[in-house]
Amino acid sequence: MICSEKTIYRYVNGSLLKARNLDLPRVVRIKQRKTKPVICKIDPACYIKRTYEDYKSFIKENPDVQVVEMDSVEGVKGGKVLLTLHFKGLCDFMLAFIRDHNTAQSVIDIFENLYSTLKPDLFKKLFKCVLTDRGNEFSNPTALEMAPDGTKRTNVFFCDPQASWQKPNVELNHELIRRVLPKGTSFNNLTQSDITLMMNNINSYGREKLNFKSPMEALSSLFGQEVLELLDAKQIPANEIILHPKLLKK
């Protein structure tokens, strides 16, 4: 039988011969190699004209544009995950959406839903500029930027690698989410209604930087009450705000 030593070892391991792995001392000694998970490769071309330097140039040319910082918040590894959208600047308002998987398609689906809900004019006013990190879930910026009819609805830019500090507002606001959903908490039993309730409490919480107004009030004064209604955002009275895990205890 002409075959390599490696092939014979495979035949033994597959029980195709009378010999067994126990008959081969070296096989018993060697631990099975751990296989690395397959990581989706990101096409570097998606960053062309969307770098942090490009973002700064865009802001310089459009100083009054509303910037939205985008990020993800994980529960347990492999479980449901949140997409967060933080309105930087004068309102400090944040949206959060539950996703079954941390994929690019799940982010695209949320953008499509927001575009349909808010309608083109309002969507473009609110989401004219989006800044995010280089996570796999944001690796299809073209699908986020382009509307179904082929028109451009937003501009997506990326922070530099390992530079989450370039979008500090969304990172800081995650601390309020972690008051309700501490690290290590599973999101698997949560629904979008739960997340909306949590964000209504967070967005009703007054901020010193807003002269103790809430992000909810600030967003309404900038873009009108209609925006809150479309986003299912409801002001929670100050004495009823709960930023604690018990908020979502069922």
Q: How far is CA 85 from CA 11, 94, 188, 205, in A?
A: 54, 6, 20, 17
What integer pLDDT is reported at residue 250 of this predicted model? Answer: 65
What integer pLDDT is reported at residue 22 of this predicted model? Answer: 66
What integer pLDDT is reported at residue 38 of this predicted model? Answer: 47
Same domain, 31 and 86: no
Residue 194 has pLDDT above 90, yes or no: yes
Same domain, 231 and 154: yes
Same domain, 62 and 21: no
Same domain, 1 and 104: no
**Helix (H, G, I), strand (E, B), or coil: what is residue 152?**
strand
Domain that holds residue 230: 44-248
Give residue 165's identity as a one-letter amino acid code.
W
- Which residues are registered as beta bridge partners of 157? 131
What integer pLDDT is reported at residue 31 of this predicted model? Answer: 62
Average pLDDT, the chain: 90
Better pLDDT: 35 or 130 = 130
DSSP state, residue 44: G
Q: How far apart are CA 141 and CA 17, in angstroms?
A: 54
Same domain, 14 and 135: no
Total domains in the fold of the chain: 2
Q: How far is CA 130 from CA 19, 55, 126, 143, 191, in A?
A: 62, 9, 10, 13, 25
CA atoms within 13 A of residue 137's CA, in its CB half-sphere: 22
Better pLDDT: 71 or 209 = 71
> Under a CB-based contact definition with an 8 Å cutoff, are residues 204 and 241 in contact?
yes
Q: How far is CA 24 from CA 9, 21, 29, in A?
A: 9, 5, 9
> Percent of the chain having pLDDT more than 70?
90
Q: What is the pLDDT of residues 204-227, one digit of tens each?
A: 999 998 999 999 999 999 999 999
Same domain, 31 and 49: no
Q: What is the pLDDT of residues 28-47, one digit of tens each?
A: 555 666 655 444 567 788 99
Query: CATH number for the domain including 169?
Result: 3.30.420.10
**Helix (H, G, I), strand (E, B), or coil: what is residue 191?**
coil
> Under a CB-based contact definition with an 8 Å cutoff, are residues 98 and 207 in contact?
no
* Contact partners, residue 79, CB within 8 Å, separation at least 6: 186, 187, 188
Sign of the torsion formed by the C-alpha atoms of 219, 221, 222 and 228: positive
Task: Tell me the mean pLDDT in the region 124-150.
Answer: 96
Kind plus residue range of the DSSP H or E element containing 85: strand 81-87
What integer pLDDT is reported at residue 27 of this predicted model? Answer: 62
> Under a CB-based contact definition with an 8 Å cutoff, are residues 228 and 113 in contact?
no
Task: Tell me the mean pLDDT in the region 42-54.
Answer: 91
Same domain, 51 and 11: no
What integer pLDDT is reported at residue 242 of this predicted model? Answer: 96
Q: How far apart are CA 7 and CA 202, in angstroms?
A: 61
Residue 1 has pLDDT above 70, yes or no: no
Same domain, 17 and 57: no
What integer pLDDT is reported at residue 37 of this predicted model? Answer: 47
Same domain, 97 and 138: yes
Task: Tell me the mean pLDDT in the region 189-218.
Answer: 95
**β-sheet with 94-99: strand ranges across:** 94-99, 81-87, 67-74, 129-132, 155-158
Same domain, 134 and 71: yes
